[in-house]
């Protein structure tokens, strides 16, 4: 019996040590969307840095922007996280001249960074602000072990070398899906403390860019006309109202409405471009970006 327990304990210890090795030395080096994006930040020749959430992740195809540009946007990114990423990396991006940051219907009205998000940003973007301690930082205990192993072994991801991805789905009107995507507009707009907090992070982003002599483009992303219709333009009006209260300093605001991208064939859903839409949008955006550099 003692021999059995000793062997069992030894097996447990070896397994535990093996998992710790994976957790500390293997899985944080995995290849996935986040790790690929973080690796892009090591390019010291970067002139343009695209931050933000899915609106820039899917919407900006860097193949159409001639200057050295990286897209480190991730789905559901909070403004707080963008600030921490910029603060951590801006000093090392010696040639950085422009930061593009989307201010979407999501940006100012969403605050909470979940434990899962903190864990992923801690492990794959090395953001020490999201250190939650040994247990909650652990990928082994909280993420799909199968996915972690696959990412460790095969090191494949469908993100482009510049950090962009999109699909070819074409928008089809569906009132139920639209309602789900736009959410409760009035409830979102009533989150005054969240809005105040996010505006504070936005001001800190503006200050960082000013200190490091980097231009900032705040981007109001393109939406399908049905988005404006079923939100009664409330998101759009409130965002512009709040932006007016901020000193943008050397930054500027670009409203994608001016690009007049409205046809169904350019949208995946009511608030995201598809592959074809991203191409059109990116070409138009490139012209505005080039103009900024010419005006320096």
Residue 80: its pLDDT value, please?
96
Which segments of the chain does DSSP mark as H helices, in order? Answer: 2-21, 33-40, 54-59, 79-89, 115-124, 134-137, 139-142, 145-154, 175-182, 185-189, 192-211, 225-230, 234-244, 275-294
Residue 203: its pLDDT value, please?
97
Query: From the CB of residue 145, how many other CB atoms can be counted at a distance below 10 Å?
Result: 13
Residue 106: its pLDDT value, please?
85
Task: Compute the distance between CA of residue 56 and CA of residue 226 in angstroms, rounded to an integer.
Answer: 20
Residue 81: its pLDDT value, please?
97
Would you give per-residue pLDDT tens digits along the chain (296 residues)? 666 667 667 777 777 777 778 788 888 888 889 999 999 999 989 999 999 999 999 999 988 888 899 999 999 999 999 999 999 999 999 999 999 999 998 899 988 899 999 999 999 999 999 999 999 999 999 999 888 888 888 777 777 776 777 788 999 999 999 999 998 999 999 999 999 999 999 999 999 999 999 999 999 999 999 999 999 999 999 999 999 999 999 889 999 999 999 999 999 999 999 999 999 999 999 999 988 877 66
- 185 CB burial (10 A radius; 0-12, 13-18, 19+): middle
Q: How many helices (H) and strands (E) does the chain have?
A: 14, 7
Residue 258: its pLDDT value, please?
93
Which segments of 247-294 does DSSP mark as H helices, in order? Answer: 275-294
Query: From the CB of residue 134, how many other CB atoms can be counted at a distance below 10 Å?
Result: 11
Strands (E), 240-279: 252-255, 267-269, 272-273
Q: How many CA atoms lie within 13 A of 13 on its CB side?
A: 6
Residues 6+ apart with CB under 8 A from 292: 98, 215, 217, 252
Residue 120: its pLDDT value, please?
96
């Amino acid at each position: 019996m003692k021999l059995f327990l000793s062997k069992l304990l030894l097996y447990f210890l070896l397994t535990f040590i093996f998992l710790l090795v994976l957790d500390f030395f293997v899985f944080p080096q995995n290849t996935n969307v986040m790790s690929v994006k973080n690796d892009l930040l090591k390019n010291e020749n970067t002139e343009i840095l695209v931050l933000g959430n899915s609106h820039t992740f899917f919407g900006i195809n860097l193949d159409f922007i001639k200057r050295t540009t990286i897209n480190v946007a991730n789905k559901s990114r909070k403004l707080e996280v963008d600030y921490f990423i910029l603060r951590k990396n801006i000093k090392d991006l010696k040639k950085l001249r422009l930061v593009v940051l989307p201010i979407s219907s999501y940006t100012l009205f969403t605050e909470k960074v979940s434990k899962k998000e903190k864990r992923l940003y801690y492990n794959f973007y090395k953001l020490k602000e999201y250190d939650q301690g040994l247990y909650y930082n652990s990928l082994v205990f909280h993420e799909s072990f199968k996915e972690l192993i696959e990412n460790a072994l095969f090191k494949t991801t469908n993100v482009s070398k510049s950090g962009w991805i999109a699909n070819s789905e074409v928008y089809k009107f569906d009132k139920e899906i639209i309602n789900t995507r736009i959410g409760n507009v009035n409830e979102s707009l009533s989150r005054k403390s969240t809005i105040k907090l996010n505006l504070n992070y936005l001001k800190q982003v503006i200050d960082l860019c000013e200190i490091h002599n980097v231009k900032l483009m705040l981007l109001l992303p393109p939406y399908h006309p049905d988005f404006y219709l079923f939100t009664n333009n409330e998101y759009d009006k409130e965002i512009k109202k709040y932006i007016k209260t901020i000193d943008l300093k050397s930054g500027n605001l670009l409203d994608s409405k001016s690009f007049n991208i409205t046809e169904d064939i350019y949208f995946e859903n009511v608030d995201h471009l598809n592959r074809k839409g991203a191409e059109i949008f990116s070409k138009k955006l490139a012209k505005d970006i080039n103009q900024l550099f010419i005006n320096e």
